[in-house]
A and B are shown apart, each in its own frame.
Chain A
Amino acid sequence: MNTIVGLCGYIIVILFALYTFFCFTVFRGRNRERAEKIYKRQRVCIFLISAIAHVILYFMDYDFRVVVLFALQVIVFFVAVHMYQIFYKGLSKLVLNNMLMLLMIGIFMLERINMEYAMKQSAIALGGLIFCIFIPIIIKKIPFLDRLGWQYAILGIFLLAVVFLFAKEINGSKNWIVIKGIRFQPSEFVKIIFVFFISGVLTRRHNFKRVVVVSALAAVHVLILVIEKDLGGALIYFITYLIVLTAVTGNVLYLISGLSGGSAAAVIAYKLFTHVQTRVSAWRDPWSIIDSGGLQVAQSLFAIATGGWFGMGLGRGLPGKIPIVESDFIFAAISEELGGIFAICILLVYISCFIMFVNISIKIKKPFYKFVALGLGIQFIFQVFLGVGGVTKFIPSTGVTLPLISYGGSSVLSTLILFSIIQGIYVLNGSGEEVKEAENEETVG
C-alpha cells in the first residue's frame, strides 16, 4: 500500500508539473487549435489529479463522503467549464482552468485535513460558481458602475466601520462578523469595492489635490484594518492603492514616497503593537520562542523540510500539528505531503493567473475597467506573496489565506468574484474581436 501511495504521489507531482508547464507554453505561437488542445490536456490533468488524490483518500479512511465529493467535483467542473464558456464568450480559458485547478487542490487537501471543512468549502465553491456565472450580466445591466466613484469609498468605509463596531476576534484578528453562527470577513469583499473606488476616482482626474484626497480615504480603509489587527488585509489594500496610483499617474515619486511612508508606518506599528512584535520575532528566530509565538512558523518549516522535493505522500504527513493549517498555513501541509515541487508549481499557477490578469488589463480600452483589472490582479498576487512568504519564513507571517486553496468561505467567494469580474470585463470590454465574433454568430444563427 505504501508503495502505491508513494508512486501515486510522484504521478500527482508529474501531472501538476505538466499542467504548470502548459500554463507557460500555451501562448507559444498563435495557433488557436493548438491552444484549444492544450486547454483540454490541462483539464485532463485536473481530472486525473483529482481522481488519484480521491482514490488515495478513500483508501485511507474508507470514508464514503470522499466518493460523493469526487463525483460532485467531476460534475460541477464539467458543467462549469461549459456554462462559463456560454456566459463568458471569449473568456481566458487558461484563467478558468487555473481557477478550477486551485479550487480542486484546496478541496482535496481539506478532505485530507478535515472532512467537515471540505464539505463546507465544496458547498461554498458550488454556490460561488453558480453566482459568478451571472457576473457578466450584472456588469452589463449596471452601466453606471464606471460612473460611480466616491460612493464606493463611502460604502467601503461604512462596511469596514460596521465590522469594527460589531466584530468578533478569531485567530487574533478582529475582522469577523458572526450572524446566526455563520461567520464571514467583510473586508474580503470590501477590498473589491476598494479597487472600484480608486479606479473610478483616479481615472477621471488625478491632479495632486485629488491624489491627496483619495490617499486620505485609502488611508482610512487601511487604518481601520490595522486597528482590527488584520495586518495582511491592511498591507494588501495599501500596496494595491500605491501600485494603481503609480500606474494611473505614471509618477514613480508616488510609489517611492508611499513605500517610505509605509515603512515608517510599519516601524511605528512595530513599536506600538505587541502582536506585530510577536510576528516579527517569530520570523527572525522561531526556534528560540517556540513556546511563545514561534510554534506556528516552526511547525510550518518542519513540515516543508520533512516533505522535501517530492513530499511524504498524500495522507502520510502530520498536518494536524500546525495551528490553523486548514487556512493560513495550508501551503505547509501541501509541501509536507505533496512536496516542494508541487508547492512551487502552485506558486507558478498563481503567477500564470496574474500574468493573464495583467494582459487582460492591457487589452481593455476603458480606463476604469483597465485599472479595476490591474488592481484586482495586484490584490490577488500580493495576497499570494504574503501567504506563501509568511509560511516559508521569507517574510513575517501576516495571517492571510491562500486564494482558492485555503479553507474559508469569504476568502473563496471573494476570490471567485475577483476572477469573474476580471473575466467579465474582459469579455465585455476586451479586445473586441472575440466579442464581435460571438455576436455575429448569434445574429447569423
Chain B
Amino acid sequence: MKKRSDKNNDNRNIAVISYSLMIIFVVLIGYIVVFLSGDNMELLNNPYNKAQEIFAEYTTRGSILSADGKVIAETVTDDDGNEVRKYPYNNMFAHAAGHFDNGKTGLEAQYNVYMLNASINPVVSAVNELKDEKNPGDSLVTTLDTGIQKAAYDALGSHRGAVIALNPENGNILCMVSKPDFNPNTIKSNWDDLIEDDNNESALLNRATQGLYPPGSTFKLLTLIEYMRENSNYRDFTFDCKGSASIDSYKINCYKKKRHGKEDIVEAFASSCNSAFATIGTELNKKQFRTLCNSFLFNSEIPVNYEYKKSTFVFNKSFDTGEVMQTAIGQGKTLISPLHNAIIISAVANGGYIVTPHIADKMVNESGRTVKTFSYKNGNTVLKPEEVNFLRECLLEVTKSGTGYALSGQKYTVYGKTGTAQYDSGDNSHAWYIGYAELDGKKIAVSIIVEKAGTGSDYAVPIAKKIFDALLGYNR
C-alpha cells in the first residue's frame, strides 16, 4: 500500500513540476507573437540590416514628396530597363533629401525601408507577382516647402553656409539648405571630385546639422537668460558703453569700437553691445551657466533623425577673465550648429520648450492614402513665461531699433538676433541670424549662417527677409 501511494506522489510531483515549466513557454510564445505583431520598421531600417537589399528586388522605391505635393526624389525606369533615382530639383534638396547612389544619406538612408515597403492590396500585390512586376513602394511626405526652400536656396546664392527654417511650435522643418552642394543626379560621375575636394568645399557636408560654428552674438540670448536668472532686478541694469570694456587687463571691443553710451539691458541687447555683455559675463556663476546651456542641448544629443554634430559649450573654473568675456559674447570655445540655434530661437517663439525638428511627416501608399504618420514628442520646457515675454521684448527691439532693423515695418512682426562670429584672429567673420516672424498666430523660425561674409545685419538678415516673405509676405 505504502509503495503505491509513493508512486502516486511521484507522478503528482512530476505532473505539477512539468506543467509549471510549460508556463515559461507560454510566455516565450507570447513574446514572439508580440514581437512579430509590433511595428518593426525601425528594426528593418537599421543600416546593419542587409535584408533591405532584398526588398528592393520586389518593390520599386517610393518617392520623396514635399509638403506642397512636389516630387523631390523619385525612381524611374530608364530606356534600358534600369531603375534610376531622379531628383527633379537637382542641387536644391541635395542635403535635405540626401542621395541614393554611392551610399545612401539623409532621408534616403533614414527612411530607406519605409520607401521599400508597399502598403497595397494583397490581391494587387499577388497579381503583380504573377506578372513578375514590382510593387510600388510607399512615398515619404516631408514637411519641406518647395517655395520656401527655393527662396532660401536663391537667397544664400553663391555663399557658403546654411539656412534652416521651421515651424517653432511643432518642429516641421520647412527648408534646409547647405552650400556648397552637389547634384544628386550626377553624384556617381562626380564622386571622385567630391571626395578629393580640391577646393576645400566639403560639399557633401550638411552644414545645417553637421557644421559647427562659433555662435557669435546670437549667443547673447543665453547670456541674457543667465543674467536674468541671477538678477531679479535685471530691468534696472544700466551700462555706459565707451566702445570697449577692459577688465583685468583684458579688453573687448564693440563692433567697430562704436560707443553705445548709456543703455539699459534691452538697448544693450538690441545694439549687440559687446562691452556690456562681456562685463555681464564676468559676474555670472559658471556652474549655473553651464547647467543652463546644457538644458538648451549644448554638449548633448539633439533630438533629430539626421546625421548631426553635437554643439559644445565650455565654461571652466580655470578660464581667465579674457576667456570668460569671450564666452559671454559667443566667441571662446563655444561651437553650435545652425540646426541647434534654430531650436534655441524656437524655444522663445513657442513659449519655452525644446522643439523636436523633423522632416519626415508621413508615408502614403501608391493611391495617396496615409499608411503611417510619424509622431514627435517635444522636449523639456526650459523657459518660464515671464522670461519668454522679456526675451521677446528684447528680440523685438533688435528689429525696431537694433541690428535687425531691415526687418522692421513688414506686415509680419519679427523677433531676432544677429551675430557676427569671428573665426580667426583677424577680422574675418561669419554672418548669423536667428529669429522668427509672426503673422496672425502663424510663426516661422529661421537660423542662418553665411560663412566668411561679414556682419549678420548685412548678409544674414536679407536672407531671413526673403524667407519670411515667402511664407508670410504680400505675395503669398
Contacts and interface: CB of A to CB of B under 8 A. Distances in A.
Interface of A: 2-3, 6, 243, 246-248, 250, 287, 290, 295, 298-299, 301-306, 308-309, 312, 316-318, 321, 336, 340, 343-344, 347-348, 351, 354, 358, 361-362, 365, 367, 370, 374, 377-378, 381-382, 385, 388-389, 392, 394
A389 B24 CA distance: 10
B18 interface: yes
B73 to A, nearest CB: 24
A295 B46 CA distance: 12
Given A3-B129, A381-B21, 5 more contacts: A3-B126, A250-B10, A302-B46, A304-B35, A378-B18
A354 B17 CA distance: 13
A358 B15 CA distance: 7
Given A3-B130, A351-B25, A385-B28, A299 B14 contact: no
A302 B49 contact: yes
Interface in B34-50: 35-36, 40, 43-44, 46, 48-50
Contact of A318 (B15, B19, B36, B50): B50
A302 B28 CA distance: 18
A302 B43 contact: yes
Nearest to A5: B129
Interface string B123-151: 00010011010000000000000000000
Contacts of B51: 302-303, 306, 312, 317-318, 336
Contacts of B28: 347, 385, 388-389, 392, 394
B29 A347 contact: yes
B405 interface: no
24 contacts: A2-B58, A247-B13, A247-B14, A290-B48, A298-B46, A298-B48, A299-B48, A299-B49, A302-B44, A302-B50, A306-B44, A306-B49, A318-B50, A318-B54, A321-B50, A340-B32, A351-B25, A361-B14, A362-B14, A367-B7, A378-B21, A382-B21, A385-B28, A388-B28
B32 A344 contact: yes
Contacts of A378: 18, 21
B316 interface: no
Q: A6, A243, A305, A308 — which one has the most chain B CB atoms within 10 A of its CB?
A: A305
A347 B22 CA distance: 12
B190 to A, nearest CB: 31
B44 A248 contact: no
A367 B129 contact: no
Nearest to A242: B17
B237 interface: no
Contacts of B31: 392, 394
A389 B31 CA distance: 10
Contacts of B40: 305
4 tightest Cβ-Cβ pairs between the two chains A and B: A305-B40, A306-B51, A302-B49, A358-B18
B13 to A, nearest CB: 4
A295 B47 CA distance: 12
B175 to A, nearest CB: 32
Given A2-B132, A3-B129, A351-B25, A392 B48 contact: no
A301 B43 contact: yes
A441 B159 CA distance: 100
B33 interface: yes
A250 B13 contact: yes
B231 interface: no
Nearest to A365: B7
Contacts of B305: none
Contacts of B9: 250
B300 interface: no
Contacts of A316: 54
A392 B17 contact: no
A201 to B, nearest CB: 16
Contact of A344 (B7, B10, B29, B58): B29
A9 to B, nearest CB: 12
A424 to B, nearest CB: 19
B11 interface: yes
A376 B31 CA distance: 26
A121 to B, nearest CB: 26
Given A247-B10, A354-B18, A362-B15, A385 B48 contact: no
A336 B40 CA distance: 13
A392 B50 CA distance: 18
B42 to A, nearest CB: 9
Contacts of A361: 14
A104 to B, nearest CB: 22
Contacts of A321: 50
B56 to A, nearest CB: 13
A4 to B, nearest CB: 10
Nearest to B18: A358
A436 B17 CA distance: 31
Q: B18, B28, B129, B130 — which one has the most chain A CB atoms within 10 A of its CB?
A: B18
B6 to A, nearest CB: 8
B150 to A, nearest CB: 38
A358 B126 CA distance: 45
Contacts of B126: 3
Given A287-B46, A347-B25, A309 B7 contact: no
A166 to B, nearest CB: 35
Contacts of A298: 46, 48
Contacts of B132: 2-3
A351 B29 CA distance: 11
Contacts of A347: 25, 28-29, 32
Nearest to A358: B18
A352 to B, nearest CB: 11
B24 A385 contact: yes
Nearest to A308: B36
A309 B34 CA distance: 11
A340 B36 contact: yes
A298 B42 CA distance: 12
A309 B46 contact: no
Contacts of A248: 10, 13
A90 to B, nearest CB: 20
